[in-house]
Structure 1
Amino acid sequence: MGSRTASVRCVPAAPCWVSLMARDLDAAQAFYGQLLGWEFEPGPDRFGPYVHAVVEGEAVAGLGVSGSGWVMPVAWTGYFGTESADTAADAVRERGGTLAVGPLSFDAGRVAFAADPAGAVFGLWEGPPGPARRLALPGSPVWIELRTPDPFAAALFYGEVFRWDDRDPAHFEVRYEHERVVLRVEGRSVAALRAEKATGPVGTPPHWEVSFSVADADAAAKLAERLGGGLLGPVFDTPYGRVARLTDPEGGRFAVISPPA
C-alpha cells in the first residue's frame, strides 16, 4: 500500500485505506477517474495488477485485480490499521469472525482479509503509522458505514479486535448518535455501524459501505449513471451530508457524500 510518490498512512484502530478488486482495471480507472477526479500511479503488484488513486499528490485508494487463485467479488474493502496484523487476526477468530486470507507480508507491512460474525468483509493492515488522511480532499474516502442487523454486537466485535476502549479518549472516541455507533478520530467522525433498513436492496448481506467526498452528490450520481454506473435509490440527506449510493459498471457498491447544507 505504499507507492513510489504518494504516501499511505496506517492509523491504528481506525479505517485508513480502501481498495477495490475489479475484473477490468482499465475500465475501473476510467470510471472512477472521471467520477472522482483521480489520477493513478503504479502500486505493489505482488498479488496482481494494482494502482493507487491519487488526489493532490496523496494516495486515497487502491484498485486492483485479484491474483490467480483469489476468487473475490467486485467490491470495495475498508482496511483498519493495527499495530499487529497477527494479533488482530487472532482476535478476529477468537471473537467469532473468519480470517479469509493472511496475514501476508508485502512491501508496506502485513495485510489480512477477514469477515465479522455477521459476514461483513474488512481488511487488516499493519504498516508504518502516520496521521489521518486529510479528509477535505475531494475524491477521498471520508466515511465508511457498516450496514448490519445488529450494530451493537458488531461494535463489541470490532471494539475488542481493535481495542477501542483502550485508546486515548482525547484522540479516539466511540459514541452513539443519529441511530449509529460512531467512531471519531481526532475530532472527526470517520466510521459508523448501523442497522440495515428494510428499504435497502433486497438480499444485500451485511457489508461496509465506502463513501467518497464530492462537491455535489446529486451531480455525481448523474455523472455516475452517464459513465455506466447505477443509482441505488434516491439521493438523500443524512446528518453527515447528502449521500448517493451507487454501483460502478461491474456492480461494485459505494457511495458519494457532499457536505451538509
Structure 2
Amino acid sequence: MNEQTDPAALPGMTSSTEMAGAPCWVSLMARDLGASQDFYGAVLGWDFRPGDLGEGFSVALLDGSPVAGIGALARTLQVAVAWTPYFAIPDADVAAARIRERSGTVAVGPLAFSLGRGALAADRDGAVFGIWEGALIPDWQSGHRDAPAWLLLRTRNAFDAAIFYGEVLDWASGRLGSCDVEYENDEVVLVSHGHVLARLSSGARGAAPDPMERPRWDVHFPVDDLHTTVRTAEDRGGTVLGRRTTADGRDEAAVSDPDGALFTLISR
C-alpha cells in the first residue's frame, strides 16, 4: 500500500475531518470497467481519467469536474456490483470498530491509499456503504444545488437506521463539521449548513424477492432531460425498473445498468 498523503499539502483539497459524517463520494463496483465507462459515458455524458486508487479504477468527469468513481473490483473483492456512497470520517479504525460493535459488517478494509484510508461496510439491515478518512474531492457534496448525486437510504426502519449511522458517523453530535438530523414526513433527513445531504426512508424488506424493495443506499443522478436519458439507458442495455413523480413534482426513473447495478435518474 502507498503511504498516506496529508490532505492539507494538496492544493484545493479538503480533509474528511471538516465534513465528518457527510456523504463525500459515490463509486461503482463493476465487472467490466470498459463496458461500464461506455454505458455511463453515453447515458450521463461522463468522461473518464485514471483514478488515484490504483489500476482498474477510474474517475468520471462531467464538464471537467469529478462526479463519481468506477472500479473493476467486484470479482477481486467478491462484493456485489452496486453503486456505493462513501461518508467522510476522521478516523477509519474508530468508525470500523463502531460498525462492528453495532452489529454491522466491515467487508473490506480499512485499506490505505495515496490520499487516505477507506473501508466497505454494511449496516444491520444489509445496506452497503463506505467510509473514507483523508483528502476529499473539492466541491463534491451531496445535496448542494449542483451536486452530481444525492442519496436515499431505503431501510427497514428509518429511525433505527438513523441511530446506527448517527453513532457510527457522529451525526447530530455537535462536533465541528458534524451533520444535523431532522425529521420530515416520516423520513429522517441529513442536513448540513441548510443543505439536505441524504434522506432515510422506512419500508424496505430484507427478504424481499424484488431487489428494489431490499435495504440499500439508492444513488440519484440529476439529469436535464429525463426522457432522453432513460431512452439512451435502454438503448445501451439498461433496464427501467420503475418510474414515479416525487413529492416536489420531479420525475424519476429507477434503472439497472447492464451489469445489474441499481441507480435512479431524476429530473434536475
**TM value normalised by structure 2:** 0.84
Hey, what does 1:224 align to over in structure 2? 233
What are the Cα deviations for residues 30-83 of structure 1, in whole angstroms up to 9, with x where unaligned?
A: 11111111111100353x501000123221100011176411221101101101
What are the Cα deviations for residues 181-203 of structure 1, in whole angstroms up to 9, with x where unaligned?
A: 111122111211101368xx843
**Is 1:13–2:21 an aligned residue pair?**
yes
**Is 1:55–2:97 an aligned residue pair?**
no
Hey, what does 1:178 align to over in structure 2? 185
**Is 1:113–2:113 an aligned residue pair?**
no
1:154–1:94: structure 2 CA closer, same or farther, 3 Å change rule?
same
Deviation at 1:174, TM superposition (A): 1.0
- How large is the RMSD of aligned CA atoms in angstroms? 2.8
Residues 217 and 257 in structure 1, CA contact (< 8 A), matched pair in contact too: yes
**Is 1:192–2:204 an aligned residue pair?**
no
Percent identity of paired positions between Structure 1 and Structure 2: 42
Hey, what does 1:253 align to over in structure 2? 262
Deviation at 1:149, TM superposition (A): 1.1
Rounded to whole Å, the distance in 2 between the matches of 1:242 and 1:168 is: 36
Deviation at 1:136, TM superposition (A): 4.2
Hey, what does 2:161 align to over in structure 1? 154
What are the Cα deviations for residues 204-236 of structure 1, in whole angstroms up to 9, with x where unaligned?
A: 231101001111323322221122111111242
**TM value normalised by structure 1:** 0.86
Unaligned runs of 5+ in 1: none
Hey, what does 1:29 align to over in structure 2? 37
SS in 2 for 1:221: helix
What are the Cα deviations for residues 15-37 of structure 1, in whole angstroms up to 9, with x where unaligned?
A: 11010011111111111111111
Unaligned runs of 5+ in 2: none
Give the counterpart letter for 1:21 in structure 2: M
Deviation at 1:147, TM superposition (A): 0.7
Rounded to whole Å, the distance in 1 between the matches of 2:196 and 2:96 is: 25
Hey, what does 1:244 align to over in structure 2? 253
Q: How does 1:106-145 map to 2 (within 5 A)?
A: 106-128=113-135, 132-133=139-140, 135-137=144-146, 140-141=148-149, 143-145=150-152
Give the counterpart letter for 1:31 in structure 2: F
